[in-house]
Chains A and B, each alone.
Chain A
Amino acid sequence: MSNRFDLYVARSSWLHRLDPRTKLAFVGVSFALLFLSSRLSLLAGYLVVVHLLLRAARIPSDRIRWLWRQMWPLTLLILLLWPIFYPTGQPTLLTLWRVRITLPSLLQGLANALRVNGLAFAVFVLLVSTDQARLVQGLVQLGIPFELGLTLAIALRYLPLLYSVYGTITDAQRARGWRAEQGSLPERLRAHVPTLVALIIAALRLSDTLTLALAARGFRPGHPRTTHRPRRLRRADLLCLAGLSLLLAIMVGLRLGFCAFSCPKMGKLIK
């Protein structure tokens, strides 16, 4: 992966063509869905659907594997720690000194692990199919002030640059015999002063230059702006938004028990 701060994969798929606002709505509905239910089949099903979406959008499998690689330490941590720290219900599967592992806590840990991965993949769908400029444009159209949108765009744009600058700074200090991998934790943290201070100085210089460059090109915060490329929601976006709204309504309805009252089997679906 050439740029680890920009997950965007350029393709011309239906997912890429969707308006960023639609994809932001997808993220919002996904979050609601994942938090409203603890049912394993539903959480696992969500992940399956997201993977199908990603494959249909021709996102390379190495990108998907990359996210799984990033997520597995956290997944493992949840799977291990949840049953240890929240041993609720019966039956007890294992008792070791003061540690008691029960089946419900094990399943709850699994549900939480699936939920966290689901949240990550929901955001991944947005970032992998929306370039930064369009994402910021979408946020601005949702009502975020342009200045804030521009700040976000610049921050996203400069993250890889600062990362690369940090790499160079580390190399420059290593070339002068600097080592940070020795001593106790406080000593190691203190040892990072030469790289962090140099990074802050470089970042300040960069921001100063950038401010001047923006001013030189006529940027005036708070000044009214015209819109060069107004974005309108297409039919596909409207259909997706309608589907997401319906899904959200059903989920909230089921959770609040409206459906459960008239159809108890449905209520159990998401609990």
Chain B
Amino acid sequence: MAEPAIELYRCSYRYNPDIPALREVSCTIPTGTWVALIGQNGSGKTTLAKMCNGLLRPDEGRVRILGQDIAGQPVSQIAHSVGYLFQNPDHQIFAPTVREELAFGLRNLGFLSAEIERRIEEALALFGLEPYADRPPAMLGYGLRRQVTVASLFALRPPILILDEPTTGLGWGAAQALLDRLAELHQEGHTILLITHDMRLVAERAEWVLVLHEGRLLTEGPPRQIFAQPKMLSRASLSPPPITRLAQRLRSFGMRGDSLTVEEFYREYRALTLKERACS
């Protein structure tokens, strides 16, 4: 049986002695799972995520990545296993060309030239960045800059990908394209930890959800189970996606109230109306 991708055992962290950012969080993320990390601003999502690649070290507790305790490992070593996409592409982009930007991480991790070239070409093709390969990434539009940062993460192909609000600022089409690329990586067996405020995205893509509130893990489970607890969610200043809320409001009309997508809602609603027609 494969080792879990990420294991946190009673992890606590404080930026300031008076304010704990994370309080005794324990969780296990199995390899190959698409996990959504949700919670209001300041709930500790980014702190938890940064702990998983060693950018932050827990004041108390242990972090294990692919079965190994990362306490003594430098970030550059953990980067082989955990890729981290920051929220703002401008906090990463520096190279004179897109190609160079993609090569940066690969060179840091010690890949050979031929392999670097192969991976760059593959990433450029997958994210449709070939026409921009020799252009300065800083001069591209926001959507393309975001694609460049995701492509540079993709080129590293780490088994675990942590993405901090990757779809923020992207149009619907670009966001879907990005999520489709992530879905392909997920199909290949990569573990994905996604920090997001987009409940629709969580409902449609995630397999497991971690809910953080005031630095504590409030609850965890599959999206259907999480969104079936609106009271618990409202405690964390969250709410289910609109389609789930609509289904929940229609419980008195016979709906189960656990639809996560428009398609699911439509199928159930259609079945219900057909049944009613047959009865009448």
User: Which residues of A line the B interface, CB within 8 A?
Assistant: 2, 165, 168-169, 171-179, 193-195, 197-198, 201-202, 205
Contacts and interface: CB of A to CB of B under 8 A. Distances in A.
26 contacts: A2-B16, A165-B91, A172-B86, A172-B91, A173-B92, A173-B94, A174-B79, A175-B53, A175-B75, A175-B79, A175-B83, A175-B84, A175-B86, A176-B92, A176-B152, A176-B156, A177-B79, A177-B80, A177-B109, A178-B108, A179-B76, A194-B94, A197-B94, A197-B95, A201-B93, A202-B91
B44 interface: no
Contacts of B83: 175
B19 to A, nearest CB: 10
B266 interface: no
Nearest to A205: B90
**Interface size, B (range):** 20 to 34
Decide if the interface of chain B is mainly helix, strand, loop or mixed. Answer: mixed
Given A177-B75, A198-B94, 13 more contacts: A165-B91, A168-B91, A171-B55, A173-B104, A174-B75, A176-B92, A176-B156, A177-B76, A178-B76, A194-B94, A194-B95, A198-B93, A202-B88
Contacts of A193: 94
Contacts of B95: 194, 197
Contacts of B74: 179
Residue among B80, B82, B91, B152 with the most chain A CB within 10 A? Answer: B91
B104 A194 contact: yes
Interface of B: 16, 50, 53, 55, 74-76, 79-80, 82-84, 86, 88, 90-95, 104-105, 108-109, 138, 152, 156
Contacts of B80: 177
A89 to B, nearest CB: 49
A169 B53 CA distance: 15
A169 B90 CA distance: 8
Contact of A176 (B16, B50, B79, B88): B79
A171 B104 contact: no
Contacts of A202: 88, 90-91
Contacts of A194: 94-95, 104
B108 A176 contact: yes
B121 to A, nearest CB: 19
B94 A177 contact: no
Given A168-B86, A171-B86, A176 B94 contact: no
A106 to B, nearest CB: 40
A171 B74 CA distance: 12
A193 B79 CA distance: 20
B76 A169 contact: no
Contacts of A197: 94-95
